[in-house]
Amino acid sequence: MKPFYAPLFDALLKHAAKAPAGFHVPGHHNGQAMKLVLPINEQSEHPSEYFYKIMQLDVTELSTTDDLHHPEASIQEAQQLAAKTFGTDETFFLVGGSTSGNLALLLTLCEPDDIVIVQRNVHKSVLNGLRLSGAKAVFLSPRIDKNSGLATVPALEQVEAALALYPEAKAVFLSNPNYYGMGISLSRYVEAAHRYNVPILVDEAHGAHYGFHEAFPNSSLSEGVDAVVQSAHKTLPTLTMGALLHVQGNRIPLDSLRETLAMVQSSSPSFPILASIDISRAMMDTLGPMLFDQSLRSVSSFRNWLRNQETTLCEVYYDADTASMLQVDPLRVVLYDVSGQRSGFELQKLLEQYGCFAEMADSRYVVLVFGVQTSTQDVKKLQYAIKTISDSSHKTEKKPKDFQPLSMTNGFEWTSIQPVSFKKTAFKNKAIQRIPLQLTEGQLSAEMVTPYPPGIAILYPGEKITAAMIDYIQYLSEAGAKFQGAGDPSLATISIFAEKADLPT
């Protein structure tokens, strides 16, 4: 095994070991403030149990600790080691999640009215990056797998057609793999984009572990994309909000990228989050593929068990055409109720009753993520839950229903070869009005409607609302989906852009 070496974590340890007198922020003063005597009730625990140790590492920009937005010591070394491990030219540690990486890339590459070729079912941070930069989107519909109803990246031919129409595009933005662990090889997309010298950017939030074990798909970096954003916290042993932005080649201006990263992220980044990224990289270097052995064993044993059970909960399967090109993440298990009695949301709730917390549900599926070190015990708990839910299903007489997944195959078309603007000024002559969802058909949405997870916007500001969308939003809302950022979280009403003359006075 390679020795464990994490320069940023080490620098923080060295600083703490000096027992320095700190006359600086943060105010917790190396966790001392957490040691105060508090009248905690008997069932509870003292916060210092949880926070004291991490607060030893929660420092600020000091001569001993470096500065994320101007790295020249341990953060610089940690980022360079990560670039080597992930096989890229430059790696930037992010403390604002993949969100900050997606925003920064678009703000770096785009000026107002520039065109970006975008897969429509991207994470909302990509749409927000377009909004903030003033760029226009040429939207491409994802390819939908016939069996599962789930969406992957758009067909290569669509990307090629869009590039031929808009060779001046500033970027092609794809999201791969999707939330369900379905991805495809991007090498031919890279060839297509580079034929026009257009950079190809990938939101690989769910694939930070790709390429690190022979059981995993290749990383998109290894397939030649120009920039990749990864949520380190999703699949590596990193604290939440810790993410990575990798850049290779010469199509992304690094000076400008550094500037925009400093713009969209806190000027006082969290050292514990940064150190946890450094530690994750060091663990990958030290343990190699072994880091994922336990999880892979757990997930295989679960799959073997499931295949040999007569349960109403089954794993998703794909159409032969899709399956032939799919690269599937073995650490994601996507289940649905074959008896058609329960939606994904219902399954999620039932699993929770047996102490099993899933990553996400949509109307049809529930998604389980096996993390680094998911144990045999956890798998047993899951098996028990599935067996019990399945047994009770056999007994009920609930009418089966065809639950549609979130990828929205149900009648609305997303390709928009005409560039779409997100700029508020595009609607300057409109007034914003909040009206009942049922009355919005044909209107332009004035807000983003985003079920979370997965964080993919069903409606963006300026998008024309169809009857299918109204049905779908109502269905999701009734089924218990959560929506982020909506003015009316119940979605009984939606803000629309109305002609000023149409408004009641």
Residues 22-81 that bind its own copies (CB under 8 A): 22-29, 32-36, 38-41, 44-45, 47, 49-51, 53-64, 67, 69-70, 72
In angstroms, give the least distance from the CB of 264 to its own copies.
7
What are the distances in angstroms from CA 253 to CA 107, 111, 431?
Answer: 11, 14, 38
One residue of 10, 191, 315, 471 binding its own copies per CB under 8 A? 10
Give the C-alpha separation, 416 to 337, whole Å.
Answer: 34
Any contact of residue 224 with its own copies (CB under 8 A)?
no
Picking from 221, 227, 200, the residue whose alpha carbon sits closest to that of residue 209 is: 221
Site residues for its own copies, 472-501, by CB under 8 A, read: 482-489, 495
- Residue count, binding to its own copies (CB under 8 A): 145
C-alpha triplet 122, 334, 319: angle, nearest 5° = 80
CA dihedral 94, 98, 99, 100 (to 10 degrees): 20
In angstroms, give the least distance from the CB of 259 to its own copies.
5
Site residues for its own copies, 225-254, by CB under 8 A, read: 231-241
Is the bond into 20 cis (omega within 30 degrees of 0)? Answer: no
Picking from 243, 215, 211, the residue whose alpha carbon sits closest to that of residue 229 is: 243
One residue of 173, 271, 365, 497 binding its own copies per CB under 8 A? 271
Whichever of 155 and 479 has its CB closer to its own copies, that residue is: 479
Whichever of 328 and 372 has its CB closer to its own copies, that residue is: 372
Answer yes or no: are the C-beta atoms of 53 and 31 closer than 8 Å: yes
Give the C-alpha separation, 149 to 129, whole Å.
Answer: 28
Any contact of residue 273 with its own copies (CB under 8 A)?
yes
In angstroms, give the least distance from the CB of 288 to its own copies.
12
In angstroms, give the least distance from the CB of 413 to its own copies.
26
Piece in contact with its own copies (CB under 8 A), picked from 148-156, 309-317, 370-378, 403-411 = 370-378
Site residues for its own copies, 445-474, by CB under 8 A, read: 447-448, 452-453, 455
Site residues for its own copies, 153-192, by CB under 8 A, read: none
**Residue 36 CB: number of other CB atoms within 10 A?**
9
The stretches of 238-331 forming alpha helices (DSSP H) are: 254-264, 271-287, 293-307, 320-325
Any contact of residue 268 with its own copies (CB under 8 A)?
yes
In angstroms, give the least distance from the CB of 486 to its own copies.
7
Site residues for its own copies, 78-117, by CB under 8 A, read: 95-100, 103, 107, 111-112
**Residue 414 CB: number of other CB atoms within 10 A?**
15
Give the C-alpha separation, 301 to 380, whole Å.
Answer: 10
One residue of 333, 334, 406, 457 binding its own copies per CB under 8 A? 333
One residue of 119, 230, 248, 270 binding its own copies per CB under 8 A? 270
Give the C-alpha separation, 486 to 457, whole Å.
Answer: 11
Any contact of residue 373 with its own copies (CB under 8 A)?
yes
Any contact of residue 410 with its own copies (CB under 8 A)?
no
